[in-house]
Amino acid sequence: MLLSVKNIGLKFGNLVAIENLSFDVQEGEFLGIAGPNGAGKTTLFNILAGYYHSTGQIQFREQDITRLTPYQACYHGIARTFQIPTIFPSLSVHDNIKFGIQFGNPGKKRNIEITIDKLLTLMNLQSQKDIEGKNIDLFTKKKTMLATAMATKPKLLLLDEPIGGLNPDEIDQFLALIYQIRAKTGVTILMIEHLMEYLVDLSDRLLILSFGKKLCIGLPNDVINNKHVIKDYIGEGID
């Protein structure tokens, strides 16, 4: 078991964002996460990555990480991407990735350029490597953010709506990258996405949240045919 989330909860004033949520993730698993807007999906990622602290307990690689800060979570092997691409606009694509290596692996500075070159090649970013972040398009920003996250050598990768805003061709390319990353590194992936057809194809299991609670978790085909998921999320009469 790589990740074990036990009865976590979080409130913002009187608003319950996450309530009594529990689930486990096996090493190497791909867990898709979906649910209506405001279901608590991004809040869950913020908790796992150390941005928010919840009640309950989170164990990662058999260690309690419930109260870690974001940089401590990164050092333990958790990396994430954001819905809106977050990179350093004044740094080149190359130097954004270099920052990920240096931040995520303190004291381990050997073979930096070799690692950067491998990530640039994997992400098909060689021709954009010297362009500053402020001058690249959305698709390239998303690939740069993903490469920077992978540069920290994570055991757990949190992808928050990574294909949002992309055109169909870019979506296909980006999902192919995710397939390659998983195949080459074995990294465990949690991915939030509203487009269920992609989650069903990618995921080993699906977790559906609703109002901060676990609505359903299980095999993709079982989840999308669950009557509660159909009623509360997918909707009646949708083919």
Please report the pLDDT score of residue 108 as a whole number.
58
Please report the pLDDT score of residue 157 as a whole number.
98
Please report the pLDDT score of residue 238 as a whole number.
42
Please report the pLDDT score of residue 103 as a whole number.
84
Record the pTM: 0.94
Please report the pLDDT score of residue 222 as a whole number.
96
Set out the domains of the chain in order of their start, with CATH numbers. Answer: 1-42+50-73+193-239 (3.40.50.300)
Per-residue 3-state assignment (H helix, E strand, C coil) for the chain: CCEEEEEEEEEECCEEEEEEEEEEECCCCEEEEECCCCCCHHHHHHHHCCCCCCEEEEEECCEECCCCCHHHHHHHCEEECCCCCCCCCCCEHHHHHHHHHHHHCCCCCCCHHHHHHHHHHHCCCHHHCCCEHHHCCHHHHHHHHHHHHHHCCCCEEEEECCCCCCCHHHHHHHHHHHHHHHHHHCCEEEEECCCHHHHHHHCCEEEEEECCEEEEEECHHHHHCCHHHHHHHHCCCCC
Please report the pLDDT score of residue 106 as a whole number.
62
Please report the pLDDT score of residue 239 as a whole number.
41
Please report the pLDDT score of residue 236 as a whole number.
56
Q: Mind listing the pLDDT tens digit of every residue in the chain (239 residues)?
A: 999 999 999 999 999 999 999 999 999 999 999 999 999 999 999 999 999 999 999 999 999 999 999 999 999 999 999 999 999 999 999 999 999 998 876 655 668 999 999 999 999 999 999 999 999 999 999 999 999 999 999 999 999 999 999 999 999 999 999 999 999 999 999 999 999 999 999 999 999 999 999 999 999 999 999 999 998 888 754 44
